[in-house]
């Protein structure tokens, strides 16, 4: 990941004539997101209101058992709720505006690294627009902060200035306390060519601060301790593992492995996800650091042990960077699934069509992502072959 500086040719040049229209296009992307504030709300928005109300009253957000993350997002919700003066529509509009800024931050970083094509595909793709505007999910916020962390680490890699390393560590920690999407990503630093000391700091410090930031709240009372343990550390999601279940001939047996009533509920899927995502980090350890999070976003969703509609926004980052016809199919088909989703736009017509084939947003995502990944491998097979065969070179380290 930090050794040989392999680059994958992505993107296309956009002439100055077309660049004049980009601000208008970006405004259109913002407008689409904000317009979805008029759509129906869902369970998560109701949870946001409860969370914001609790934090505003000085109560830890985990007491509701509808908040399963670090403290940071609850603080943002509390601030936005205060600005809205308790008005539901204004509160939702402020959430969408905030998350749209997170999308825009990702756009700016992708533009700087990969050019306008990847950045515009991300900002205008229907999945990101719907997840931000309608579902109001904040995975993009944690990923945006993670991308800023990688940007700082790249600066450290070039200059060896300690301030960039400290910024990276702080941003990685913040990302985990927003939502722990990057929990497995930190393990990729094991395969980097940084010194053992720097690897240790990059991995241990964010993990430690993430865990320790719960401690003051757990010490408040036995109830608060149990609330955090239950809502965060003992929480189990859908356990649907669509990629892994696909390979089982006996689908009934595969379903039983995710049974919430059994002792093993989802543990096999978690282990498989851990191994596979970590192995992807090992395979692509020689690639430029800027590619790490886009690749991770694809691996995390492809091998996920528990996949729901909002997680598609994570994969949208990698699909935009490595955009091809396979990923175009992913964007279009999953848009249809989000329109049919009962928690989405709840189109009974589309739900009926998809339902006859047993399709939905989470069980079709892995195959569509895999199609895009295979397209990318074929197109860049020479680079991929070099990545998997070249001897590793150690990057220079600061004195």
Three-state SS at 287:
strand
pLDDT higher than threshold 50 for residue 203: yes
pLDDT value of position 253: 83
CA distance 14 to 169: 35
Q: Which token pair is 378? A: 């074929």
Residue 4 lies inside a defined structural domain of this protein: no
pLDDT value of position 236: 79
The residue that leads in pLDDT, 39 or 211, is 211
CB under 8 Å to 76, separation ≥6 — which residues? 98, 141
What does the DSSP assignment read for 121-177? Answer: HHHH-HHHHHIIIII---HHHHHHHHHHHHHHHHHHHHH--HHHHHHHHHHHHHHHH
185 secondary structure, DSSP code: G
Residue 235 lies inside a defined structural domain of this protein: yes
Contact 213, 70 (CB under 8 A): yes
Residue 1 lies inside a defined structural domain of this protein: no
CA distance 205 to 209: 6
The per-residue pLDDT for range 68-121, each reduced to its tens digit, is: 999 999 999 999 999 999 999 999 999 999 999 999 999 999 999 999 999 999
pLDDT higher than threshold 80 for residue 382: no
Residue 2 lies inside a defined structural domain of this protein: no
- Distances 25 to 19, 31, 190 between C-alpha atoms, Å: 10, 10, 40
Domain extent at residue 182: 16-389
Residue 6 lies inside a defined structural domain of this protein: no
pLDDT value of position 9: 57
pLDDT higher than threshold 50 for residue 399: no
Residue 10 lies inside a defined structural domain of this protein: no
Over range 150-172, report the average pLDDT. 97
Q: Which token pair is 34? A: 């904000």
CA distance 175 to 141: 8
The per-residue pLDDT for range 309-368, each reduced to its tens digit, is: 999 999 999 999 999 999 999 999 999 999 999 999 999 999 999 999 889 998 999 999
CA distance 277 to 394: 23
Contact 99, 179 (CB under 8 A): no
pLDDT higher than threshold 50 for residue 2: no
| Total tally of structural domains belonging to the chain | 1
pLDDT value of position 387: 66
Residue 398 lies inside a defined structural domain of this protein: no
What backbone phi and psi angles, to 5 degrees, belong to 287?
-75, 150
Residue 26 lies inside a defined structural domain of this protein: yes
Q: What is the pTM of this model?
A: 0.92
Three-state SS at 46:
helix
CA distance 36 to 135: 9
CA distance 155 to 164: 6
Give the Cβ contact number of residue 319 at 10 Å: 32
């Amino acid at each position: 990941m930090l050794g040989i500086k392999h680059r994958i040719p992505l993107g296309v040049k956009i002439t100055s004539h077309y660049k004049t229209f980009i601000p208008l296009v970006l405004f259109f992307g913002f407008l689409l997101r904000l317009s979805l504030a008029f759509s129906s709300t869902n369970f998560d928005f109701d949870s946001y209101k409860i969370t914001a109300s609790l934090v505003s009253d000085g109560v830890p957000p985990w007491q509701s058992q509808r908040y399963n993350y670090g403290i940071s997002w609850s603080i943002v919700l509390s601030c936005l709720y205060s600005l809205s003066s308790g008005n539901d529509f204004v509160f939702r509009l402020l959430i969408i505006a905030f998350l749209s800024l997170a999308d825009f931050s990702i756009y700016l970083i992708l533009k700087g690294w990969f050019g306008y094509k990847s950045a515009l595909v991300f900002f205008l793709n229907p999945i990101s627009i719907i997840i931000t505007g309608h579902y109001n999910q904040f995975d993009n916020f944690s990923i945006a902060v993670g991308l800023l962390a990688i940007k700082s680490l790249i600066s450290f890699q070039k200059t060896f200035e300690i301030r960039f390393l400290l910024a990276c560590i702080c941003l990685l920690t913040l990302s985990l306390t927003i939502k722990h999407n990057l929990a497995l990503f930190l393990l990729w630093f094991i395969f980097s060519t940084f010194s053992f000391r720097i690897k240790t700091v990059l991995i241990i410090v964010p993990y430690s601060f993430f865990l320790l930031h719960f401690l003051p709240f757990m010490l408040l009372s036995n109830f608060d301790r149990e609330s955090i343990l239950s809502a965060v550390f003992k929480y189990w999601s859908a356990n649907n593992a669509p990629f892994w279940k696909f390979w089982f001939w006996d689908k009934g047996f595969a379903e039983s492995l995710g049974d919430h009533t059994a002792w093993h509920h989802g543990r096999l899927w978690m282990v498989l996800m851990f191994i596979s995502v970590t192995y992807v980090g090992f395979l692509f350890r020689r690639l430029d650091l800027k590619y790490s999070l886009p690749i991770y976003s694809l691996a995390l969703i492809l091998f996920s042990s528990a996949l729901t509609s909002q997680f598609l926004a994570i994969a949208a980052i990698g699909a935009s960077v490595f955009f091809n016809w396979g990923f175009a199919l992913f964007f279009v088909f999953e848009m249809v699934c989000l329109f049919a989703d009962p928690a989405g736009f709840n189109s009974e017509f589309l739900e009926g069509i998809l339902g006859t084939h047993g399709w939905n947003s989470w069980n079709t995502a892995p195959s569509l992502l895999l199609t895009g990944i295979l397209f990318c491998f074929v197109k860049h097979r020479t680079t991929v072959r070099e990545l998997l065969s070249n001897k590793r070179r150690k990057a220079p380290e600061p004195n």
